Amino acid sequence: VNCSILLTHLPLLERPAAAAAAGFSGVEFWWPFPSATPEAAEVDAFVGAVEAAGVQLVGLNFAAGDMPAGDRGLVSWPGRSEELRANLDVVTAIGERTGCRAFNALYGNRVDGVDPAAQDELGAENLARAARAVARIGGTVLLEPVSGAPAYPLKTSADVVAVLDRVAAEHGEANLGLLLDVYHLAVNGADVPAEIAAYRERIAHVQIADAPGRGAPGSGELPLQAWIGDLRAGGYGGPVALEYTSDAPDPFAWLPLEQRSRVPAR
Protein backbone atom coordinates (compact mmCIF):
# COMPACT_ATOMS: atom_id res chain seq x y z
CA VAL A 1 0.00 0.00 0.00
CA ASN A 2 1.35 3.42 -0.93
CA CYS A 3 0.51 5.31 2.25
CA SER A 4 1.08 8.71 0.68
CA ILE A 5 -1.87 8.41 -1.70
CA LEU A 6 -4.08 5.89 0.15
CA LEU A 7 -5.56 6.11 3.67
CA THR A 8 -5.17 9.88 3.49
CA HIS A 9 -8.12 10.44 5.84
CA LEU A 10 -5.69 9.44 8.59
CA PRO A 11 -2.63 11.29 9.89
CA LEU A 12 0.42 10.02 8.03
CA LEU A 13 1.93 8.22 11.01
CA GLU A 14 -1.30 6.25 11.57
CA ARG A 15 -1.41 4.87 8.04
CA PRO A 16 1.10 1.99 8.43
CA ALA A 17 -1.05 0.53 11.22
CA ALA A 18 -4.18 0.97 9.10
CA ALA A 19 -2.53 -0.86 6.22
CA ALA A 20 -1.59 -3.68 8.59
CA ALA A 21 -5.16 -3.83 9.91
CA ALA A 22 -6.37 -4.18 6.32
CA GLY A 23 -4.21 -7.27 5.87
CA PHE A 24 -1.09 -5.86 4.23
CA SER A 25 2.44 -6.36 5.47
CA GLY A 26 4.21 -3.99 3.07
CA VAL A 27 3.94 -0.22 2.66
CA GLU A 28 5.66 2.47 0.66
CA PHE A 29 5.78 6.26 0.92
CA TRP A 30 6.61 9.28 -1.12
CA TRP A 31 9.00 11.53 0.80
CA PRO A 32 7.06 11.92 4.07
CA PHE A 33 8.67 15.08 5.43
CA PRO A 34 8.30 18.78 4.54
CA SER A 35 12.09 19.18 4.42
CA ALA A 36 14.74 17.19 2.56
CA THR A 37 16.72 17.08 5.81
CA PRO A 38 14.20 16.55 8.62
CA GLU A 39 15.05 16.71 12.29
CA ALA A 40 16.11 13.46 13.95
CA ALA A 41 12.92 13.39 16.00
CA GLU A 42 10.80 13.50 12.83
CA VAL A 43 12.73 10.57 11.37
CA ASP A 44 12.46 8.63 14.61
CA ALA A 45 8.68 9.14 14.68
CA PHE A 46 8.31 7.92 11.10
CA VAL A 47 10.52 4.87 11.59
CA GLY A 48 8.77 4.13 14.87
CA ALA A 49 5.34 4.22 13.24
CA VAL A 50 6.42 1.72 10.60
CA GLU A 51 8.02 -0.57 13.14
CA ALA A 52 5.10 -0.39 15.59
CA ALA A 53 2.70 -1.36 12.82
CA GLY A 54 4.74 -4.48 12.09
CA VAL A 55 4.92 -3.75 8.36
CA GLN A 56 7.89 -3.70 6.00
CA LEU A 57 8.81 -0.40 4.35
CA VAL A 58 9.19 -1.62 0.77
CA GLY A 59 9.71 1.68 -1.08
CA LEU A 60 10.60 5.28 -0.25
CA ASN A 61 10.98 8.33 -2.45
CA PHE A 62 13.87 10.71 -2.27
CA ALA A 63 12.84 14.31 -1.56
CA ALA A 64 10.94 15.56 -4.60
CA GLY A 65 10.02 19.17 -3.84
CA ASP A 66 6.47 20.46 -3.42
CA MET A 67 4.44 17.79 -5.22
CA PRO A 68 1.00 19.47 -4.75
CA ALA A 69 2.47 22.63 -6.30
CA GLY A 70 3.67 20.70 -9.35
CA ASP A 71 7.26 19.78 -8.49
CA ARG A 72 8.26 16.33 -9.73
CA GLY A 73 11.69 15.74 -8.27
CA LEU A 74 15.04 17.42 -7.70
CA VAL A 75 17.37 15.07 -9.60
CA SER A 76 17.83 17.29 -12.68
CA TRP A 77 16.97 20.65 -11.10
CA PRO A 78 20.17 22.74 -10.92
CA GLY A 79 18.87 25.19 -8.33
CA ARG A 80 18.05 22.42 -5.86
CA SER A 81 20.81 19.94 -6.52
CA GLU A 82 22.51 20.53 -3.17
CA GLU A 83 19.20 19.92 -1.42
CA LEU A 84 18.90 16.56 -3.12
CA ARG A 85 22.47 15.63 -2.28
CA ALA A 86 21.89 16.46 1.38
CA ASN A 87 18.86 14.17 1.27
CA LEU A 88 20.79 11.10 0.13
CA ASP A 89 22.29 10.22 3.50
CA VAL A 90 18.96 10.76 5.26
CA VAL A 91 17.21 8.37 2.87
CA THR A 92 19.99 5.81 3.19
CA ALA A 93 19.84 5.96 6.98
CA ILE A 94 16.07 5.37 6.94
CA GLY A 95 16.63 2.44 4.60
CA GLU A 96 19.25 1.00 6.91
CA ARG A 97 16.94 1.23 9.92
CA THR A 98 13.82 -0.14 8.23
CA GLY A 99 15.19 -2.65 5.75
CA CYS A 100 13.86 -0.64 2.81
CA ARG A 101 16.00 -1.22 -0.27
CA ALA A 102 14.03 0.47 -3.10
CA PHE A 103 14.25 4.24 -3.47
CA ASN A 104 12.34 6.23 -6.07
CA ALA A 105 14.16 9.25 -7.55
CA LEU A 106 11.76 11.55 -9.39
CA TYR A 107 13.78 13.07 -12.24
CA GLY A 108 12.43 16.62 -12.14
CA ASN A 109 10.67 18.94 -14.55
CA ARG A 110 12.37 20.92 -17.27
CA VAL A 111 13.34 24.34 -15.94
CA ASP A 112 12.73 27.48 -17.95
CA GLY A 113 15.95 29.08 -19.13
CA VAL A 114 18.09 26.01 -18.51
CA ASP A 115 19.53 23.89 -21.32
CA PRO A 116 17.83 20.46 -21.24
CA ALA A 117 21.17 18.84 -22.06
CA ALA A 118 22.68 20.44 -18.97
CA GLN A 119 19.77 19.19 -16.89
CA ASP A 120 20.29 15.67 -18.22
CA GLU A 121 24.01 15.79 -17.46
CA LEU A 122 23.23 16.86 -13.89
CA GLY A 123 20.48 14.24 -13.68
CA ALA A 124 22.88 11.45 -14.58
CA GLU A 125 25.43 12.70 -12.05
CA ASN A 126 22.88 12.95 -9.25
CA LEU A 127 21.41 9.53 -10.00
CA ALA A 128 24.93 8.11 -9.79
CA ARG A 129 25.40 9.83 -6.43
CA ALA A 130 22.10 8.42 -5.21
CA ALA A 131 23.05 4.94 -6.41
CA ARG A 132 26.39 5.11 -4.59
CA ALA A 133 24.66 6.26 -1.40
CA VAL A 134 22.10 3.46 -1.24
CA ALA A 135 24.63 0.88 -2.46
CA ARG A 136 26.07 1.05 1.05
CA ILE A 137 22.98 -0.84 2.24
CA GLY A 138 22.36 -2.92 -0.87
CA GLY A 139 19.73 -0.52 -2.19
CA THR A 140 18.41 0.18 -5.68
CA VAL A 141 17.48 3.56 -7.15
CA LEU A 142 14.21 3.54 -9.10
CA LEU A 143 13.32 5.88 -11.95
CA GLU A 144 9.84 6.17 -13.47
CA PRO A 145 7.88 7.68 -16.33
CA VAL A 146 5.29 10.19 -15.11
CA SER A 147 2.02 11.49 -16.56
CA GLY A 148 0.11 14.69 -15.91
CA ALA A 149 3.25 16.84 -15.76
CA PRO A 150 4.01 18.28 -19.21
CA ALA A 151 7.43 19.56 -18.13
CA TYR A 152 8.54 16.13 -16.88
CA PRO A 153 10.67 14.69 -19.70
CA LEU A 154 10.43 10.95 -18.98
CA LYS A 155 7.15 9.72 -20.47
CA THR A 156 7.96 6.12 -21.49
CA SER A 157 10.02 3.19 -20.32
CA ALA A 158 12.42 3.90 -23.19
CA ASP A 159 13.00 7.40 -21.81
CA VAL A 160 13.84 5.97 -18.40
CA VAL A 161 16.06 3.19 -19.70
CA ALA A 162 18.04 5.68 -21.79
CA VAL A 163 18.82 7.61 -18.59
CA LEU A 164 19.73 4.43 -16.70
CA ASP A 165 22.06 3.38 -19.52
CA ARG A 166 23.72 6.80 -19.48
CA VAL A 167 24.34 6.56 -15.74
CA ALA A 168 25.89 3.12 -16.18
CA ALA A 169 28.03 4.20 -19.14
CA GLU A 170 29.27 7.50 -17.73
CA HIS A 171 29.42 6.74 -14.01
CA GLY A 172 29.57 2.97 -13.73
CA GLU A 173 26.62 2.60 -11.36
CA ALA A 174 24.42 -0.42 -12.01
CA ASN A 175 22.09 -0.50 -8.98
CA LEU A 176 19.32 1.41 -10.75
CA GLY A 177 16.11 0.07 -12.24
CA LEU A 178 12.87 0.93 -13.99
CA LEU A 179 9.84 1.63 -11.87
CA LEU A 180 7.02 0.38 -14.07
CA ASP A 181 4.00 2.48 -13.16
CA VAL A 182 1.38 1.14 -15.53
CA TYR A 183 -1.04 3.98 -14.80
CA HIS A 184 1.41 6.67 -15.92
CA LEU A 185 2.38 4.66 -18.98
CA ALA A 186 -1.21 4.05 -20.02
CA VAL A 187 -2.21 7.70 -19.56
CA ASN A 188 0.80 8.70 -21.67
CA GLY A 189 -0.50 6.46 -24.46
CA ALA A 190 2.06 3.68 -24.17
CA ASP A 191 1.48 0.11 -25.31
CA VAL A 192 1.94 -1.35 -21.85
CA PRO A 193 2.26 -5.05 -22.87
CA ALA A 194 4.90 -4.05 -25.43
CA GLU A 195 6.81 -2.07 -22.81
CA ILE A 196 6.68 -5.00 -20.40
CA ALA A 197 8.01 -7.30 -23.12
CA ALA A 198 10.76 -4.91 -24.19
CA TYR A 199 12.02 -3.95 -20.74
CA ARG A 200 11.16 -6.96 -18.62
CA GLU A 201 14.75 -7.37 -17.45
CA ARG A 202 14.97 -3.73 -16.32
CA ILE A 203 11.84 -3.67 -14.14
CA ALA A 204 12.73 -3.31 -10.47
CA HIS A 205 9.37 -2.24 -9.01
CA VAL A 206 5.74 -2.07 -10.14
CA GLN A 207 2.93 0.33 -9.24
CA ILE A 208 -0.69 0.17 -10.38
CA ALA A 209 -3.83 2.28 -10.60
CA ASP A 210 -6.73 2.14 -13.04
CA ALA A 211 -7.47 4.68 -15.75
CA PRO A 212 -9.17 6.93 -16.37
CA GLY A 213 -9.32 8.43 -12.91
CA ARG A 214 -6.36 6.84 -11.07
CA GLY A 215 -8.79 4.80 -9.01
CA ALA A 216 -8.77 1.26 -7.69
CA PRO A 217 -8.47 -1.66 -10.09
CA GLY A 218 -11.86 -2.24 -11.69
CA SER A 219 -12.86 1.41 -11.58
CA GLY A 220 -11.50 2.11 -15.06
CA GLU A 221 -10.61 0.32 -18.25
CA LEU A 222 -7.09 -1.06 -17.79
CA PRO A 223 -6.52 -4.85 -17.81
CA LEU A 224 -4.38 -4.66 -14.70
CA GLN A 225 -4.71 -8.31 -13.67
CA ALA A 226 -3.62 -9.42 -17.15
CA TRP A 227 -0.58 -7.16 -16.99
CA ILE A 228 0.36 -8.43 -13.54
CA GLY A 229 -0.04 -11.99 -14.79
CA ASP A 230 2.28 -11.21 -17.69
CA LEU A 231 4.86 -9.76 -15.30
CA ARG A 232 4.68 -12.77 -12.98
CA ALA A 233 4.85 -15.25 -15.85
CA GLY A 234 7.92 -13.46 -17.13
CA GLY A 235 9.74 -13.79 -13.83
CA TYR A 236 8.94 -10.59 -11.93
CA GLY A 237 8.79 -11.61 -8.29
CA GLY A 238 8.80 -8.20 -6.62
CA PRO A 239 6.00 -6.21 -5.04
CA VAL A 240 3.06 -4.69 -6.87
CA ALA A 241 2.32 -1.43 -5.11
CA LEU A 242 -1.17 0.04 -4.90
CA GLU A 243 -0.79 3.70 -5.83
CA TYR A 244 -4.34 4.82 -6.50
CA THR A 245 -6.78 7.31 -4.99
CA SER A 246 -9.93 6.30 -3.15
CA ASP A 247 -12.36 7.90 -0.75
CA ALA A 248 -14.32 4.67 -0.29
CA PRO A 249 -14.92 3.46 3.29
CA ASP A 250 -12.90 0.35 2.37
CA PRO A 251 -10.44 1.28 -0.39
CA PHE A 252 -9.31 -2.35 -0.65
CA ALA A 253 -12.71 -4.04 -1.01
CA TRP A 254 -11.86 -5.11 -4.57
CA LEU A 255 -8.95 -7.29 -3.38
CA PRO A 256 -9.64 -10.55 -1.52
CA LEU A 257 -7.82 -10.79 1.78
CA GLU A 258 -5.81 -13.83 0.69
CA GLN A 259 -4.44 -11.87 -2.29
CA ARG A 260 -3.08 -8.99 -0.24
CA SER A 261 0.66 -8.86 -0.32
CA ARG A 262 2.85 -10.66 2.14
CA VAL A 263 6.34 -9.26 2.38
CA PRO A 264 8.97 -11.60 3.86
CA ALA A 265 10.21 -10.48 7.26
CA ARG A 266 13.71 -9.09 7.48
Where in the sequence numbering do the catalytic residues fall? 144, 243
Closest among 118, 107, 123, 109 to 173, alpha carbons compared: 123
Query: SS3 for 174?
Result: coil
User: What is each CA distance from 202 to 57, 65, 66, 104, in whole angstroms?
Assistant: 22, 27, 29, 15
User: What is each CA distance from 173 to 136, 153, 212, 224, in whole angstroms?
Assistant: 13, 22, 36, 32
Q: How many CB atoms lie within 10 A of CB 183?
A: 24
> What is the distance between the alpha carbons of residues 95 and 97, in angstroms, rounded to a whole number?
5
> What is the distance between the alpha carbons of residues 235 and 249, in angstroms, rounded to a whole number?
35
**146, 154 contact by CB (below 8 A):** yes
Q: How many CB atoms lie within 10 A of CB 219?
A: 18
